[in-house]
Amino acid sequence: MEGKSYQRLPRVKIREMRDDYMKFELRDTDASVANALRRVMIAEVPTVAIDLVEIEINSSVLNDEFIAHRLGLIPLTSDRAMSMRFSRDCDACDGDGQCEFCSVEFHLRAKCHSDQTLDVTSKDLLSSDHTVVPVDFSDSAGMESSEQKGIIIVKLRRGQELRLRAIARKGIGKDHAKWSPAATVTFMYEPDIRINEELMDMLTLDEKKAWVESSPTKVFDFDPKTEKVMVVDPEAYTYDDEVIKKAEAMGKPGLVDIIAKEDSFIFTVESTGAVKASQLLLNAIEILKQKLDAVRLSEDTVEADDQFGELGAHMRGG
């Protein structure tokens, strides 16, 4: 490889990890990579979700489409999703998407016999595959809330009945939000906050306190003992410029210097429960790789090689 290499070696540092939540740092890369990762997590990581509903009996107050829509939005555990086939390119079935390789069948039967309203929830959905079941939040959540009943689908009163068969299929968030495994994926640039101590020392106690207060989030703190202003939580800073404006208003421009580090990001990932947050990240990286491979291996890229020259080599991972 002649010329300059554009290669960087991003680092990931996991700060916090729970089943449905993860916070990590991504360093030594730029916004395009961070954003690509975010976009893939939202839109391209496959999960399994109910896609076809055959309603046998529905005497509930909600109509068929309503219930079907609600069923679709229930997150299903989709650890198997990566290895499953899309029903559109499944060769085991003739495209009707009802074979074991590309679909999971669910059954729901509920009838209310008492005078109390019966809540039909995601727990009433019976799966044909024990690996694909409605997400159960009761065990994953740290605190044992008294009775987690699952996601409510419809309420039935005496005599009402709901009986249906549902087919869950693999899909991606780009097609429909029900296949998106991510509840929240967001990142921020890590702020670099530097207080100009000289200027800060010129402030009175009250001024310091007022300045600390001017930030809507708890970024700075005033230590009454040392009488110094400290940065306690730089990441709480929302780039709102309030403290800078305050400093200017106090006649001390340059009191604090805040810049966003352009190569390090703090990611927050919350999962719907379909896949674990950590797995979501791994899957996303996997898919991102596949996509890059697809670009690299396509004939267009080889042709474009001459055009792009050095860049083409970079694209091929050189």
Partner 1 sequence: MGVAQDSSADPPKKNKQNRSNDGKQILHSAIDKEFLAAPIKSATDKFALLPEFLKVRGLVKQHLDSFNYFVNTGIKKIVRANDRIVSGVDPSIYLRFKDISIGEPSLTMDGVTEKIAPHTCRLSDMTYSAPIKVDVEYIQGSHDQKTRVEKKGVVIGRMPIMLRSCSCTLYGKTESELAKLGECPLDPGGYFIIKGNEKVLLMQEQLSKNRIIIDMDKKGNLNASVTSSSERIKSKTIIQMENQKIYLMLNQFVKKIPIMVVMKAMGMESDQEVVQMVGRDPRYAALLMPSIEDCAKEGIHKQEQALAYLETKVKRFSFAGASSENDGRVMTVLQDVFLANVEVCQDNFRPKCIYVAVMLRRIMDAILNKDAMDDKDYVGNKRIELSGQLISLLFEDLFKTMIAEVKKAVDNILTKPSRSSRFDFAQCIIKDSITHGLERTLSTGNFNIKRFKMDSKGMTQVLARLSFIGCLGHMTRIKPQFEKTRKVSGPRALQPSQWGMLCPCDTPEGEPCGLIKNLALMTHVTTDEEESPLISLCYCLGVEGLEVLSGEELHTPYSFLVLFNGNILGKHRKPQHFAAAMRKLRRAGKIGEFVSVFVNEKQHCVYIASDGGRVCRPLVIADKGISRVKEHHMLELKAGVRTFDDFLSDGLIEYLDVNEENNSLIALYEEEATTETTHIEIEPLTLLGVIAGLIPYPHHNQSPRNTYQCAMGKQAMGNIAYNQLHRMDSLLYLLVYPQRPLLTTKTIELVGYDKLGAGQNATVAVMSYSGYDIEDAIVMNKASLDRGFGRCIHMKRYCAVNQKYDNNTQDRILRPNRDGFDSGPMRVLDDDGLAAPGEIIRRNDILINKQVPIVTRGQFKSALHDSEFKSVPQRYDGPQGESCVVDKVALCSDKHNNLCFKFLIRHTRRPEVGDKFSSRHGQKGVCGTIVQQEDFPFSERGICPDLIMNPHGFPSRMTVGKMIELLGGKAGVSCGRFHYGSAFGEPGGHADKVEAISETLVRMGFSYDGKDFIYSGITGCPLQAYIFMGPIYYQKLKHMVLDKMHARGSGPRVSLTRQPTEGKARNGGLRVGEMERDCLIAYGASMLLYERLMISSDPFEVQVCRVCGLLGYYNHKLKTGICSSCKNGDNISTMKLPYACKLLIQELQSMNIVPRLKLAEA
Q: Which residues in this chain contact partner 1 in the complex, by CB under 8 A?
A: 31-32, 34-36, 38-39, 42-43, 55, 58, 61, 63-66, 69, 73, 173-174, 176-178, 180, 184-189, 216-217, 236, 238-240, 242, 260, 268, 270
Q: CB 30 → partner 1: shortest distance, Å?
A: 9
Cβ proximity to partner 1: between 59 and 290 the closer is 59
Using an 8 Å Cβ cutoff, are 99 and 93 in contact? Answer: yes
SS3 60: coil
Using an 8 Å Cβ cutoff, are 211 and 203 in contact? Answer: yes
Q: CB 197 → partner 1: shortest distance, Å?
A: 26
In three state form, how does the secondary structure of 137-149 look?
HHHHCCCCCCCCC
Cβ proximity to partner 1: between 69 and 109 the closer is 69
Q: CB 196 → partner 1: shortest distance, Å?
A: 23
Cβ proximity to partner 1: between 101 and 189 the closer is 189
Instruction: Count other Cβ atoms within 10 Å, centred on residue 299.
Output: 7
C-alpha to C-alpha distances, 307 to 64, 301, 304, 316, nearest whole angstrom: 55, 10, 5, 14
Q: CB 268 → partner 1: shortest distance, Å?
A: 6
Instruction: Return d(Cα 192, Cα 211) in angstroms, integer.
Output: 18
Cβ proximity to partner 1: between 131 and 186 the closer is 186
Cβ proximity to partner 1: between 100 and 233 the closer is 233
Instruction: Count other Cβ atoms within 10 Å, centred on residue 309.
Output: 11
Q: CB 171 → partner 1: shortest distance, Å?
A: 11
Instruction: Return d(Cα 54, Cα 105) in angstroms, integer.
Output: 11
Cβ proximity to partner 1: between 106 and 179 the closer is 179
Q: CB 74 → partner 1: shortest distance, Å?
A: 12
Instruction: Return d(Cα 312, Cα 318) in angstroms, integer.
Output: 9
